[in-house]
Structure 1
């Protein structure tokens, strides 16, 4: 991949304050990531869009606003650009509207502040619009986040590590943390109270009634199925856990909190790895080391990596090894003598 022309990021943190679904560390996660992008990876502050549901936020992280920010980022991209999306908030699993090819597996989604779910199909379509030669990296610190980019190849995860058979392990949060997970029934209960649609209906009926064309592409009749033409794929997903697991939201009084601040366990593990390892750190190395950090801290969640074989070994956000300034410094006296 050629050196990047632009580095663009969209960071989303949903704490759902004042609701039964409240979390503590999601906004802190994206604030920390913003600082890391600017200070370590050279992102310009004006190229980092932050959406949170903090009181007074100018743009709330609704489903439509998140998708619009991501679409705008992709629309600005050119070959060689580095695109990044970080999400901290609730995730959920949704049953298919109808069984796909005879199977009834649930699909992954993130939960914006207005519950207008963004699904694995939406992220697949987004990645498919990324210009060839540009890259799209996604970090999702949410429950059931494994596989959030539909059809992406699993590099680190239960199927690979167990020799092809997904591990039948569903972790639960420890007593010291909360889970970044909304059960499907909780999503339905919330939406039915707003949409007026009977709770017995599929979530698609609620979302289409409430949000119309802004609802996930998964729920529209024109949605194409998983059969898509092959194309070079520059989508990279680092998930906070496996599809069958939950991700921990760590309160500020926990020993694993980031500098005494509430955080996501996975987000904090990424920060820990990056702070202790000089560039470059590959995507595979970052996920593997984050797994070790979480294990040492006693968390029962297993981050996963989904991307092409080449991107698994590529540096996270394409950061190259820092060039020493000694060469430049040594050259200065010679230049001044001319």
Structure 2
């Protein structure tokens, strides 16, 4: 077994004056929870975990999760990868549809664009940006991308996206949409087409379909303990005695996908997680199984 290496990114946008209305509260909390999970459950070593968040006031010297810095860290991860390595890129933040009009049509009409994740500097990262890097993944290394942002299911779809009508959570203080309006984004050159498909060892866990918003949760309208609904379902799966199929064994990727979808559906969320894998990856162990001496809680 090779190394386990992770890049964890959380964007609340609290330091960006453009995002006063669309800033988030739970994405840095998500990163902290994911860091604990992969350390204690999956055997990732602290020296192999890179964290980028925009928690600027508390950690002013921390490298910020800008477009340039995120892509730079992904390049470093791929360049240092060896056969047998397990690589994780986790992103919690806003999503958007780019390459559509700044003033979109009314809600009942189709809105067009490409799915993108949004760094703290509001310069989008599309699937084409990532595939250009992931095509250098060495044979025998495995890359998992867990993306908790709106429209994330369309990141590796080369077709023009369409956005369906999604419920407006803005007036409910218990929920906040993880969507960044396209008129706030910084202009970049967005590739019209993806490079030739996703490399086979890459798997995407998306928090929503290409036409859906993802949400974060504020229990009792308290933003101090905010978390993203999808990331919360992943935490529940691996930390709850009631979760799982009752076997003292690691979960397969498709089990993780099935649980998160069922969990969010049971709670009434209007987002549907999805798994975009190579067929063989669906039955592979999530993050290559638990770390040494770790068992599933049953």
**TM-score in terms of structure 1 length:** 0.72
Q: 1:87 to 1:279 in 2, by over 3 A?
A: farther
- 1:270 maps to 2:234: yes
Partner of 1:126: 133
Cα contact 1:147–1:306 (8 A) shared by 2: no
- 1:94 maps to 2:98: yes
Q: 1:289 to 1:8 in 2, by over 3 A?
A: same
What is the alpha-carbon distance in structure 1 between the residues aligned to residue 259 and residue 198 of structure 2? 30
Structure 1 residue 107 displacement after superposition? 1.1
What is the alpha-carbon distance in structure 1 between the residues aligned to residue 82 and residue 198 of structure 2? 17
Cα RMSD (Å)? 2.9
What is the alpha-carbon distance in structure 2 between the residues aligned to residue 50 and residue 233 of structure 1? 26
Q: Between Structure 1 and Structure 2, which shows a larger proportion of strand residues?
A: 2
Partner of 1:242: 209
Map 1:250-329 → 2, pairs under 5 A = 250-253=217-220, 261-276=225-240, 277=244, 279-319=249-289
Partner of 2:108: none
What is the alpha-carbon distance in structure 1 between the residues aligned to residue 90 and residue 35 of structure 2? 10
Question: SS of 1:68's equivalent?
Answer: helix
Map 1:3-82 → 2, pairs under 5 A = 3=1, 5-17=2-14, 19-20=19-20, 21-54=22-55, 55=57, 56-57=59-60, 58-82=62-86
Structure 1 residue 170 displacement after superposition? 3.8
Q: 1:185 to 1:233 in 2, by over 3 A?
A: same
What is the alpha-carbon distance in structure 2 between the residues aligned to residue 92 and residue 138 of structure 1? 17
Cα contact 2:127–2:194 (8 A) shared by 1: no
Q: Which moved more, 1:76-85 or 1:14-23?
A: 14-23
Question: SS of 1:131's equivalent?
Answer: coil
Structure 1 residue 318 displacement after superposition? 1.1
Cα contact 2:113–2:162 (8 A) shared by 1: no
Query: Which 4+ residue blocks in structure 1 deviate beyond 6 angstroms?
Result: 321-325
Structure 1 residue 125 displacement after superposition? 1.6
Partner of 1:333: none
Cα contact 2:134–2:199 (8 A) shared by 1: no
What is the alpha-carbon distance in structure 2 between the residues aligned to residue 40 and residue 242 of structure 1? 28
What is the alpha-carbon distance in structure 2 between the residues aligned to residue 316 and residue 254 of structure 1? 33
What is the alpha-carbon distance in structure 1 between the residues aligned to residue 120 and residue 229 of structure 2? 21
What is the alpha-carbon distance in structure 2 between the residues aligned to residue 269 and residue 36 of structure 1? 13
Q: Between Structure 1 and Structure 2, which shows a larger proportion of helix residues?
A: 1
- 1:207 maps to 2:188: yes
Q: 1:35 to 1:321 in 2, by over 3 A?
A: closer
Partner of 1:171: 166
Runs of 5+ unmatched residues, structure 1 = 98-103, 152-165, 192-205, 209-215, 220-224, 326-338
Q: Which moved more, 1:293-302 or 1:172-181?
A: 172-181
Paired residue total: 269
> Over alpha carbons, which structure has the higher Rg?
1
Structure 1 residue 186 displacement after superposition? 3.2
Partner of 1:156: none
